[in-house]
Amino acid sequence: MSRIGVFTCHCGENIAGTVDCPKVAELSRQIPGVVHSVDYKYMCSDPGQTLIKEAIKEHKLDGVVVAACSPRMHEPTFRKAAAEAGVNPYLCEMANLREHCSWVHEKNEATTQKAADLVRVMVEKVKHDTPLTPIKVPVTKTALVVGGGIAGIQTALDIANAGHQVVLVEKSPSIGGHMSQLSETFPTLDCSQCILTPRMVEAAQHPNIKLMTYSEVEKVDGFIGNFKVTVRKKAKKVDEKACTGCGLCVTKCPNKKIPDEFNEGLAFRPAIYVPFPQAVPNKPTIDTANCTYFKNGKCGVCSKVCPTGAIRYEQEDELITMDIGAIVMATGFKLMKTDKFPEYGYGKYKDVIDGMQFERLASASGPTAGVIKRPSDGKEPETVVFIACSGSRDRAKGVPYCSKICCMYTAKHTMLYKHKVHHGQAYVFYMDIRSAGKDYDEFVRRAIEEDEAKYIRGRVSRIYEEDGKLIVKGADTLMNGEPVEIKADMVVLATAVQSQDCSEDLAQTLHISYDKYGFFAEAHPKLRPVETNTAGIFLAGACQAPRDIPETVAQGSAAGAKVAALFSQDELTREPIVAVVNRQAPPLFSTCTGCFLCQTACPYQAIEQEEIKDRSGRVIKTVAKVNPGLCQGCGTCVAFCRTKAIDLAGFSNEQLFAELMTL
Amino acid sequence: MSSANHHESRPDTLAARVKAATGISLAQCYQCGKCAAGCPVSEEMDLTPCQVLRLLQYGQDKYDEKAMRSAGIWLCLSCETCSTRCPQEVEIPKIMDVVRAEALKRGIAHPKSKDILAFHRAFLDSVEQTGRLYEIGLVANYKLRSGHFMKDVMLAPKMYVRGKLGLLPHMIKGTAAVKRIFKRTLGSKG
């Protein structure tokens, strides 16, 4: 006969307000197998836990039911208390009297009766509980950081500085990301490249960081501490070891009319190229889609001029498989393109550009060497209109959210423009100015008060061309919606921040969740902001939601700290609530028939095949086996198993039926 | 609808005049509306203080003129409730003075300004001549200037009985100094 103790919590008035707790305690005492039952105001408090521990010792309890809140809240608290008093923690269960009863019912007899029933159910479960031991899994102390922008660089540096190995994977030929394209950064107006490039170099030179540029994550298997990751190292067609980075091939390449991605299409680059002068690594890559040699087999100039013979036309993509302990996603964002705006000319007006293009125009390393010239005729624009919320907070364009960075960078743009074109006038159409951040609002006020940007509150409804000017039609909602028309020389759209095109595929490759906009989902919006729901995979930067640089860097460091904490242990402890295949001895008696329906059903790829062999090594049966490191205890396999050969530890069929039978 | 693009740096905008005369930058105003919310006469105004400021922020003739033609600027009492409470420390009464003076200069002041101006002038005359307020003189002066001869006449006996209307002005000692102040600030009569 069991010796079970029932501890009913009032939770202040949360439970006791509608449930008669002393009555529940009294009714519980009458359940067969219960030898002790009390109620108390706050069971989770220190005295409450002491009460449980002392009762376990005094009454020699072998099972505990705490009738209180949801197990999501305090199950660890009470299981720890039970363990301290010598009871296996998995013999301590919680009856949820708060979320499942007191909060959702009126105060009356029936509510108290339901509470008593919930306790009865859990007592029955405890009777069928078996002691479980947490699962230990080893940890591979190498981290994979996906994305080489500022988020990934920061994360990689922090993990590497903590003494662990990092593989930094970047899909383009150089690390640096969007930040390397920016001219200046808000709210200090310091040069973006000047503050970023030292970090890029540091990442490249760090002995603990292995840089893999022009590479993409192809496949991810395994589980926390034990991932197996396959990375596709795309062929650069250049032998990185032999290449000295002299740049002769780049200057001699005859095909120089390819729109330059780094300059957002405002300049051209050759088919063999280094994305930008401070690129890391500073070795060229052949863009095979645009290379004459790869199109028709002729040319080969780069190979002829290369003094070290580093050109490798025959080089193939490489697939590299690595053991990885933790993964940090830092894949960043993309900007909505101007062709998404029919009302602003469908991207057909050359002088209607997006924010990143303006960054390139203002950048000293840009196509105009930092002189503001409009793309159509290279003239200096005397009136520039900036339109905030271009596509953001626009349900019709599928982006109801705020892109967060545009208010600030638009203010910055007006300042950069005024600093370069003193007689110019910047107009900003905005809906709200969202400048929450240290020194942010002051920065926006500076743009308005010192650099004379004129802010007009209202959205622009249309832009059209007339006599070489762009007519911008809006309204001023601070003047009773008075229509405003501005003849502009150039218009800059602060287009919406969106998730990368590849984000959904990548999320599926990694088995992490994402929201309807393709941004990766955090485990908890407040308390677990850099973790995903998949253990061992973390997030940093704008792949999760629109973020500015300070936040991205903070998140990168946060993800780095999470990885460092994970790597601080040699073994991981996991909850033993996992599926188990019936294997009573002799193994031949396994009721598993090897149909492997469970394998197809398992969302976590946790089911493996195992061969049962006889003494001579002959395979007599192939059965399912659960990898306890991967299993998340969802129970899908249990429902699928036709021979009832799989059961879930802690939630066995026997236990659940016993619970139901009491009602 | 505005069509031309004028820039604030242009010296002939009202905003530029405000800046030159008072040192206040119109760009400081972020249109929170606290001035209009607290103004004791804003309910009577066709344009509230923040609306006047918004018009001036554009730096366009059309909007400048709209501000100058409004009646609201004449209702401002310069009580300074707005500037006391303004989070951006914009001294609106000073701006109103510039706008009113400019409106008079261009001859586009709202008709409502006539009586208000008559009263202002009568008051200033009294101060200039006696160094302080001389009630009967002020009343007579205002009636002459405004043409409202019989308005509020029935109040006079009551006020006289209570000693509110002295027959003769009380001169201060330094009237000559006061006259010099007037001359210095206004040149001739402003």
Closest chain B C-alpha to A424 CA, distance in angstroms: 8
Is B190's pLDDT higher than 50? no
CB distance from B27 to chain A under 8 Å?
Answer: yes
In this complex, which of A448, A478, A483 lies closest to B54 when CB atoms are compared?
A478
Q: How far off is chain B from A490, nearest CA to CA, in Å?
A: 14
* Interchain proximity A479–B57, CB inside 8 Å: no
> What pLDDT score does A598 carry?
94
A441: closest chain B residue by CA:
B30
Contact A487 B51 (CB under 8 A): no
A 629-648 → B contacts, CB under 8 A = none
CB contact under 8 A, A485 and B8: no
Structure tokens at A552: 């991205």
Sign of CA dihedral A286, A287, A289, A292: negative
- What does the pLDDT read at residue A588? 63
Interface check A445 vs B, CB under 8 A:
yes
In this prediction, residue A586 carries a pLDDT of 67
C-alpha–C-alpha distance, residues A388 and A219, integer Å: 39
Distance between CA A534 and CA A520 in Å, rounded?
Answer: 11
Place of tokens 């192939």: A622
A454: chain B residues, CB-CB within 8 Å: 8, 57-59
Q: Which two tokens stand for residue A297?
A: 């087999």
Contacts of B55 in chain A (CB under 8 A): 479
Q: Best residue in A454, A462, A480, A487 to probe B by mutation, most B CBs within 10 Å?
A: A454
The pLDDT tens digits for B28-65 are: 999 999 999 999 999 999 999 999 999 999 999 999 99
pLDDT of residue B2: 42
Q: Domain coordinates of chain B in residue numbers?
A: 14-106, 113-186
Which residue out of A385, A428, A432, A448 would a mutagenesis test of the B interface target, given it has the greatest number of B Cβ atoms within 10 Å?
Answer: A448
Q: Chain B partners of A457 at a C-beta cutoff of 8 Å?
A: 31
pTM listed for this prediction: 0.82
Q: CA of A551, closest CA in chain B: separation in Å?
A: 27
Nearest to B7 among A425, A476, A478 (CB): A425
Query: What is the reported pLDDT for A587?
Result: 61
Residues from chain B that touch A486, judged by Cβ atoms under 8 A, are: 2, 5
A479 touching B, CB under 8 A? Answer: yes
pLDDT averaged over every residue in chain A = 94
Task: Give every strand in the sheet of A165-169, ordered side by side.
Answer: A209-212, A165-169, A142-146, A326-329, A537-539
Residue B86 Cα, gap to closest chain A Cα (Å) = 15
* Closest residue to A484, CB basis, from B2, B28, B55: B2
DSSP letters spanning A412-475? HHHHHHHHH-TT-EEEEEES-----STTHHHHHHHHHHTS-PEEEES---EEEEETTEEEEEEE
DSSP assignment, residue B27? Answer: G
Q: Give the type of residue at A183.
A: S
β-pair type (A165-169, A184-185): unpaired
Of the candidates B2, B5, B31, which has its C-beta nearest A425's C-beta? B5
- Catalogue all structural domains in chain A, each as residue range(s) with its CATH number: 4-128 (3.40.50), 142-234+317-332+500-567 (3.50.50.60), 248-305 (no CATH), 334-498 (3.50.50.60), 579-661 (3.30.70.20)
* Residue B4 clears pLDDT 70, i.e. is over it: no
Query: Coil, helix or strand for A142?
Result: strand
Which A residues in the span 365-404 are in contact with B, Cβ-Cβ below 8 Å? 383
- The count of other CB atoms within 10 Å of the CB of residue A552 is 27
Our CA-based measurement puts residue A537 at a distance from the nearest CA of chain B, in whole angstroms, of 45
The pLDDT value recorded for residue B188 is 54
As a residue count, chain A comes to 663
Position B187 pLDDT exceeds 80:
no
Chain A residues lying within 8 Å of B32, measured CB to CB: none
Contacts of B7 in chain A (CB under 8 A): 423, 425, 452
The amino acid at residue A130 is T
B168 vs A77, residue with greater confidence: A77
Closest CA–CA distance from residue B88 to any residue of chain A (Å): 10
User: CA A576, CA B27: separation in Å to the nearest integer?
Assistant: 64
A549 CB contacts (<8 Å, ≥6 apart)? A150, A179, A185
Q: Which of B2, B9, B58 sits opposite A485 (nearest CB)?
A: B2
ipTM: 0.79
Nearest Cβ partner for B28 among A383, A449, A483? A449
Q: Do A452 and B8 touch (CB under 8 A)?
A: yes
Of A350, A158, A140, A384, the closest CA to residue A265 belongs to A350
Query: In this complex, is the C-beta atom of A484 within 8 Å of any C-beta atom belonging to chain B?
Result: yes
Low-confidence ranges of chain A (pLDDT < 50): none
**Residue B3 sits at the chain A interface (C-beta within 8 Å):** yes
Flag whether residue B7 sits within 8 Å of chain A, measured between CB atoms.
yes
Does residue B7 have a pLDDT over 50? Answer: no
Nearest to A392 by CA among A406, A412, A375: A406
Q: Quick check: bond before A187 cis, omega within 30?
A: yes
Ordered DSSP codes for A154-190: HHHHHHHHTT-EEEEE-SSSSB-GGGGG-SEETTTTE
The per-residue pLDDT for range B80-89, each reduced to its tens digit, is 999 999 999 9
Alpha-carbon gap, residue A464 to A487, rounded angstroms: 10
Q: Which of B1, B5, B31 sits opposite A478 (nearest CB)?
A: B31
